Amino acid sequence: MKISQWFQVVGAATVTVGMAIHAPVALADSDSDLLVVAKAADPQTLDPAQTMDNNDWTVTYPLYQRLVRYDVSEDGKGLTSVVGELASSWTASADGTVWTFDLASGNAFSDGAAVDAAAVEYSFNRLMDLGRGPSEAFPGGMKVEASGEMQVTFTLEQPFAPFLYTLANNGAGIVNPAVEGKGGDHGTEWLSGNSAGSGAYMLTGWERGQSLVLEPNPHYGGAAPSIEKVRVDIIAEAAARRLKLEAGDVHIAESLPVDQLDALDGAAGIEVQNYPSLKVTYLYLNNKIAPLDNVDVRRAISNAVDYQGIIDGILDGNGVQMRGPIPEGMWGQNKAAIQYSYDLDAAKKALSMVGGTSEEITFLYSGRDPLWEPIAIATQAYLSQLGLNVKLEKLANATMRERFDTGEFGIATGNWSPDFADPYMFTNYWFDSKRHGLAGNRSWYTNDKVDGLLQKAVVSSDPAERTALYGELQEIVTDEAAYVYLFQKDYRIAVREDVAGFVFNPMLEDIFNFGSMSLSK
């Protein structure tokens, strides 16, 4: 081909490319009925019986309904008490072992099938049969039976005080029995990437690593949602999520780090919302190995951490120091329990009682929470002031969790948020000697008296009695410094000002009530 012809081709190509770059971006539909959420990572699985990750729940919670839901107060605040969703009413036997639920009529799955007792029975049997993480919240030996066309009966082996609340969990989502026909293990492979629920929305598209699309369930039993399409965009870079929010390309930007949120505060068209939450960050102290098996060493560590420094420096003041395991806002918190503070003299004194220690303490953390690394670095610096030799190890999340379960670590960072509004969430899991390791008691703490208190509290149905039991427990576990109780941080989310109707519920972090939200014009 001659040179001149070649240039002609190149020229034509350049012009086409130039036009294409400046072609107006055709949006799929009109702006006012589309809500876009920017998320940091792709969900792993959308099967309620499989997923244990809040990141997945953002998408799954609106796709399914549960027997009960969390109530909303008059002034639009999420409450921790529950009211019926699929269930219109319920009764419990005197000893709390038999629960009977009457289902409301008019609720239907996305394929039109009605939500009846058979569906509820199927969902729970499927959940327990698959035996994955979500099933663990429910007491073993629980029997579920459709005792009528619209009536379900749950029979527990023992009374379980938080039982009613567990029914609002993501794992208790009612699944369309038709998934059984999707083959495999109760259709779990299919359900991981699709939806089969009766919630206000259904999943209509998922481009892995790019975006998910939710559209209204045509057979939804409640009021039709105002938002006609929800798109969850996966944008890994926090800076990119923030910029898209500022540009108006997304309405809600999740998981923005503290510094980005501060920069957005007061920006035009954007609102940074702050809610006190029940999510806590704490340090596991492996009570099983030296030198942390010594209570004085643990007390010394608890006094060597600059709690306020961490809250001011790393959280920018958006948090409050924990007082014991139960966070503020949850009933049962013992306001008289010990709260350690940054007191280097007391720390050195406690340590001197042991005669000091030269052992190396491994400190594990992962990149799952960006705050963990600064906390780890700071803690190591604080503890070195005591003369303690701390070695930091940043691991993949999976590897770290393995070490929790085998007890091969000294100190580690952890986050915890409740699945239901009961002190059980922060006490049984953390201190019961039957839950050593990954199951919840990651400090490998053992105290028979505490075990006894926990046993009594879980079967009792008297709140006053339980408060007293938990109160005593908190005194013991703070005195023995089983964990380092760091802080409870606010839930902060940056949204555009035209997003209305968002109700934050401390039980449902990272979950948005799309069905009752709207975009003001």
Partner 1 sequence: MSDVSVSPNPLKRALGRVNWGYLWYQLKQSPLTLGGGAIVLTVLLLVIFAPVFATHDPNAIDLRARLTAPSLTHFFGTDEVGRDIYSRILYGGRQSVAVGFFVVIVAGLSGTLIGAFAGLIGGRVDTVIMRLMDVVLSVPSLVLIMALAAALGPSLINAAIAIALVRVPVYVRLARGQTLLIREMSFVTAAETFKASRLHILRWHILPNILSPVMVQATLDLGSTILLASALSFIGLGAQQPTAEWGAMVATGRNYILDQWWYSAFPGFAILITATAFNLLGDGIRDILDPKQKAR
Partner 2 sequence: MSFLNVIRRRLMFLVLVLFGVTVITFTISNLIPGDPARMIAGDRATPEIVQNIREDLGLDKPLPVQYFRYLEGVVQGDFGTSIRTRRPVLEDLRIFFPATLELALTALLFATALGIPLGVASAVWKDKPVDHLVRVIAVTGISTPAFWLGLLVILLFYGNLGWLPSGGRIDPSLEMPNRVTGFLMFDSLLAGDLAAFGSALKHILLPAFTLGFVHLGVVARQVRAAMLEELQQDYIRTAKANGLSRFKIVFTEALPNAMIPSITVLGLALGDLLYGAVLTETVFAWPGMGAYVVNSIQALDFPAVMGFTVVVSLAYVLINLAVDLIYMAVDPRIREVS
Residue 104 interacts with which of partner 1, partner 2, none, CB < 5 to 8 Å by class: none
Residue 123 pairs with which residues in a beta bridge? none
Task: Determine the 3-state secondary structure of 357 from DSSP.
Answer: coil
What residues contact 246, with CB distance under 8 A and at least 6 apart? 264, 267, 269, 270
Q: Are 257 and 374 in contact (CB under 8 A)?
A: no
Residue identified by tokens 């340590």 is: 351
Distance in angstroms (rounded) separating the CA atoms of residues 283 and 411: 7
Give the per-residue contact string, 234-273, with partner 1 (x = CB under 8 A; - = no).
----xx--xx-------------x-xx--x----------
- Residues 399-458 touching partner 2, rule: CB under 8 A, are 399, 401-403, 405, 429, 437-440
For partner 2, which residue of 186, 231, 298, 492 counts as binding (CB under 8 A)? Answer: 231
CB of 2 to partner 2, least distance (A): 12
Residue 169 interacts with which of partner 1, partner 2, none, CB < 5 to 8 Å by class: none
What's the distance, Cα to Cα, between the start and end of the chain in Å?
A: 58
- Nearest 5°: the CA angle 2, 5, 6 is 85
Residue 429 interacts with which of partner 2, partner 1, none, CB < 5 to 8 Å by class: partner 2
Distance in angstroms (rounded) separating the CA atoms of residues 10 and 435: 69
Residue 189 interacts with which of partner 1, partner 2, none, CB < 5 to 8 Å by class: partner 2
Q: Does 208 bind partner 2 (CB under 8 A)?
A: yes
Residue 280 pairs with which residues in a beta bridge? 416, 488
Q: Are 438 and 404 in contact (CB under 8 A)?
A: yes
CB of 363 to partner 2, least distance (A): 17
Helix (H) or strand (E) holding 129: helix 117-130
* 270, amino acid identity: I
Distance in angstroms (rounded) separating the CA atoms of residues 431 and 295: 15
Considering beta carbons, is residue 134 or 423 the nearer one to partner 2? 134
* 503, amino acid identity: V
- Nearest 5°: the CA angle 48, 50, 53 is 85
* Per-residue tokens: 427: 């006490």
Residue ranges of the alpha helices (H) in 316-447? Answer: 344-352, 372-385, 397-406, 424-431
Residue 336 interacts with which of partner 1, partner 2, none, CB < 5 to 8 Å by class: none
CB of 304 to partner 1, least distance (A): 14
Q: Does 396 bind partner 2 (CB under 8 A)?
A: yes
Q: Does 309 bind partner 1 (CB under 8 A)?
A: yes
| 288: alpha, beta or left? (left if phi > 0; alpha if psi -120 to 50) | alpha
- Near partner 2 by CB under 8 A, which window of 127-135, 173-181, 286-294, 498-506? 127-135
Q: Does 119 bind partner 2 (CB under 8 A)?
A: no
Q: Are 244 and 250 in contact (CB under 8 A)?
A: yes
Q: Does 397 bind partner 2 (CB under 8 A)?
A: yes
Q: Are 161 and 461 in contact (CB under 8 A)?
A: yes
For partner 2, which residue of 193, 329, 407, 501 counts as binding (CB under 8 A)? Answer: 193
CB of 374 to partner 1, least distance (A): 5
Q: Does 35 bind partner 1 (CB under 8 A)?
A: no
Residue 464 interacts with which of partner 1, partner 2, none, CB < 5 to 8 Å by class: none
- Near partner 2 by CB under 8 A, which window of 133-141, 309-317, 371-379, 456-464? 133-141
Q: Does 313 bind partner 1 (CB under 8 A)?
A: yes
- Residues 365-404 touching partner 1, rule: CB under 8 A, are 367, 370, 373-374, 376-378, 380-381, 392-396
Q: Does 39 bind partner 2 (CB under 8 A)?
A: no
Task: Determine the 3-state secondary structure of 24 from DSSP.
Answer: coil
Q: How many CA atoms lie within 13 Å of 204's alpha carbon, on the beta-carbon side?
A: 13
| 259: alpha, beta or left? (left if phi > 0; alpha if psi -120 to 50) | alpha
Considering beta carbons, is residue 231 or 298 the nearer one to partner 2? 231
Distance in angstroms (rounded) separating the CA atoms of residues 307 and 313: 10
- Near partner 2 by CB under 8 A, which window of 58-66, 326-334, 338-346, 390-398? 390-398
Buried/exposed 335-367: b ≥16 CB within 10 Å, e otherwise? eebbebebbeebbbebbeeeeebeeebbbbbbe
Residue 116 interacts with which of partner 2, partner 1, none, CB < 5 to 8 Å by class: none
Residue 1 interacts with which of partner 2, partner 1, none, CB < 5 to 8 Å by class: none
CB of 317 to partner 1, least distance (A): 11
- Nearest 5°: the CA angle 117, 123, 127 is 150
Residue 225 pairs with which residues in a beta bridge? none
For partner 2, which residue of 12, 15, 83, 239 counts as binding (CB under 8 A)? Answer: 239
For partner 2, which residue of 71, 102, 136, 475 counts as binding (CB under 8 A)? Answer: 136
Q: Does 21 bind partner 2 (CB under 8 A)?
A: yes
For partner 2, which residue of 20, 94, 223, 268 counts as binding (CB under 8 A)? Answer: 20
Residue 381 interacts with which of partner 1, partner 2, none, CB < 5 to 8 Å by class: partner 1
Helices 463-479 and 448-459 cross at an angle (nearest 10°) of 160
Q: Which residues bind partner 2 (CB under 8 A)?
A: 17, 19-28, 36, 44-45, 50-53, 131-137, 185, 189, 192-193, 207-211, 231, 233-237, 239-240, 243, 249, 396-399, 401-403, 405, 429, 437-440
Q: Which residues bind partner 1 (CB under 8 A)?
A: 238-239, 242-243, 257, 259-260, 263, 306, 309-310, 312-314, 367, 370, 373-374, 376-378, 380-381, 392-396
